[in-house]
Amino acid sequence: MIKRGSSHIVFESEIKISHTLFKELLDSGIKGMCISATYPKKLIKAYHIERSEFIWLSDVSGDDGISPRNLEALTNAIRDFLENNFASAVLLDSIEGIYADNAVEDFISFLNYITRTSKRNAATLIMPLDPEVFPKEVLSTLSGIFDRVMDVRSVSIEAEGKECPKCGALWNPNVTVCSICGYEFKGPDGIKAMRTERGGKRPEKIRPPEKIPGKPARAGAPMMGDHGPGSWFKKGVDYEKAGDSEKAIEAYRKALEEAPYDPWIWINMGVSYQRLNMTEDALECYNRAIEIYPIDADAWSNKAIALRILGRIEEAIECYDKALEIDPGDSGIWSNKGVALRALGRIREAIECYDKALEIDPYDVGTWLNKAVALQRIGHIEESLECYERILKIDPYHPVALRNKELLSRLNPALRD
């Protein structure tokens, strides 16, 4: 649910899920810092997060207490932790108190600095909040600072959630308007498809730096660039969301002039190239991202997709394995590995991958479809039908599942309802 190395806003009325996600990160072996107005010993007792460092947001001196009004001391403490613990996790709880005790511009500046410092140090930042406390314009600004926004107040497990194509917020499937940016969801799945206009001038071929260091140095060019509102990176993201991959690439190239060792810029540029069917260029971008930051599962997974498109399927499977070593809990990577194995005729291995994916996310319709097709290939018609029935429980009007279930039933009348 939480992507490592990214910043996340989590909408919660009662702060529970964020603490659970934070503990899962700690349990995986990474270091963590929890900032909260709740006394640390109570948090340890409630969520068993003994392995974390703590900052207690309090006007009481001692016990690692920092006043929520003292943004300078709070900023310095978080920065020091992030710079001394690469790829760590930070839970920024009780943000409502910080907002209430400071000027809005100081509050926004504080969060902007913390998110940028987190990215620069490949940290995972989780910030739970109650959206009812904040004005819409503040929520909109925060959505531009953080990578993801998730609403877990009324999460449904009966269907997939919606991702807002404008700001990236995740919502319950029943909502019609994104309360972050005001986007109106349209269509049966609530997700507006991106379309890329073909033709036009081919973007200039990538000319990455001559030498990529094995480990980014603190001095010189920064590893992470500016990802905030108005940055070239954010402009690239906005162009891509609007379907203009060529302009997105131009923006990412300008972002790389300022931060040539930022792996996320390279990854996003690769995605834009891939949407223009310029797969070789996309592959080069993913390779650069991996050279800079080899523990990013998305870079390995995207590289695998590019290799599969180029017909280099055995190499693609090796990349999927690399990605899964980093993040074995990513259902999408397991499912995509299954697709690659199926292309090689290794059907039973593909089914094993689909089963792994479905253990993680049993409501992924795409994986159920892949498994159904694979089962058909080896003649397991009844099991294939069961997959289509599972899909129809999630989406009763799914056209492919309805059609294929009907076709399989005709082939074997004994299996009809």
Interval 8-57: pLDDT, tens: 998 887 667 788 888 888 888 889 999 998 888 888 887 888 789 999 99
Least confident of 202-206, 224-228, 284-288, 406-410: 202-206
pTM for the whole structure: 0.52
Last residue of a domain, one of 328, 361, 383: 328
Q: Which two tokens stand for residue 36?
A: 């909260």
Residue 180 sits at φ, ψ, to 5 deg, of: -80, -55
Residue 170 included in any domain = no
Whole-number pLDDT of residue 415: 47
Q: Which two tokens stand for residue 400?
A: 């492919």
The span from the CA of 147 to the CA of 156, in Å, is 22
Last residue of a domain, one of 110, 130, 153: 153
The answer to whether 267 and 302 are in contact (CB under 8 A) is yes
| 341 and 315 within one domain | no
Residue 314 included in any domain = yes
Give the number of domains in the chain. Answer: 3
Last residue of a domain, one of 294, 328, 362: 328
CATH classification of the domain holding 124: 3.40.50.300
The span from the CA of 170 to the CA of 372, in Å, is 28
Is the model's pLDDT at 356 over the cut of 90? yes
| 381 and 300 within one domain | no
Interval 250-306: pLDDT, tens: 999 999 998 898 898 999 999 999 888 899 999 999 999 999 989 889 899 999 999
Residue 159 zone, left/alpha/beta (φ > 0; ψ -120 to 50; rest): beta
Which of 73, 82, 70 lies closest to 32 in space, CA to CA?
82
Would you tell me how many other CB atoms lie within 10 Å of the CB of residue 311? 9
Whole-number pLDDT of residue 376: 86
Residue 348 included in any domain = yes
| 94 and 55 within one domain | yes
Residue 368 included in any domain = yes
